[in-house]
Structure 1
Amino acid sequence: MYNSDTPSRAELPSSKQLVRSTLLAAVSAVVLLVAVVLPAEYGVDPTGIGKVLRLTEMGTIKQGLAAEAVADAALKTGSPTEKAAGATVSTAPSPTAVAPAPAAPAQPAAAQVAWRDEMPFTLAPGQGTEIKLKMAEGAKAQYQWVVEGGMVNFDTHGDGPGKSISYEKGRGVASDEGTLEAAFTGNHGWYWRNRGKSPVKVVLRARGDYTDIKRVL
């Protein structure tokens, strides 16, 4: 039986070549970590490459799903449903008995709000989707969304070149409205997920200072 010949010393790589190969491998690993892994897994994009390759958006969604899973686990252990940290929740004191106020005269119905865009969509059980507004820093957009047939979990967030932000999160919510102010120039909007057992219909309405609105997921 023939075994291959043992290589001679001249055929083996030198110490200098090994050190150079090790350094090149280390530099390549760092580049991949910063340009690919951080944007795709954590939504952190210091180089801006993740935005070009749409990896930052993937990482932001993954982080939202991870937080959502933690909240679901907490709910199963008896924790109350609440909005994410950063949202102000006020608790009003118990009202004291007072004499009923006289009935106010009937007022004419308020003029109907004229929305610039209206986007309805349906989410199957377990399905999620995302809609973004393209906004400049400081721009404001009024919004309203309602759920028909159930409730959803949501994450209001934004992303731009090397930047990302989460404005508000909620679980088991049937509607929301307010004003979204862009913290920086980029895409700002909402991610919804249906955690129920039946399909739901969501209708988003928006108007204000944005140049484009699109469903990106």
Structure 2
Amino acid sequence: MTANLQPTRPMPRGRLLVGTVGALVAAILIVCGGILPAEYNVDPLGVGKLTGIVRLWAPEEKTVSTRARSMAYAREYDVPYRQDVVEIPLGGFLTGNDNSELEYKVRMKQGATLTFAWEVTGTSEPRDVHFDQHGHTTPKPGETMSVASYKQAFGLKQQGAITAPFDGIEGWQFSNSSENPVVVKLRLSGFYELIQGGQPGNEASVVANVPAAQARPNAPFASKAAP
């Protein structure tokens, strides 16, 4: 018996066009609503945010070393955290070097960090005050001293941070070349120790956390320098 085969009729052109357009629209919706938010964090339709698909996206990861020059970015210290304000009065240059300039430093362990900010009152001329920011070890007689020089300049203010390259003392040499007394107000915070008066780094016996008039009680100009 011979099968009665009916010829397949082609899909009408209108239905084919509608089907093609529908498939294209569906593909666009899938790409814009699913693939772009999930893979590229691009959400033109807002569907990714609405459905939470956008949370599937994550940027390419790059591992960053947590050490630089053998120093860790994250550290812990045995020295307690502290904050201090040191008001340093300096006499005019006519009062002599012992009064118009001094060195003030703090003691730090290698790798310890402090932040600082200082500003001069008593003059508006930047070239009146010179500073030498540096640090050095305190070796025993016969031993070599290690020195780190950071900045030498004229100016009335500075702010930043210091990370000690060795066990030693870190700070500044301040010099006032004007005729009038000035005060350097130094703010410190971090992991360091104050140096007792008369010791290297604080030979002028500056007292921290008191007004300028009391910071150098033996200096005759101190009260005049206080703002």
Give the TM-score range, shorter chain: 0.3 to 0.5
TM-score by length of 1: 0.45
Return the TM-score normalized by structure 2: 0.43
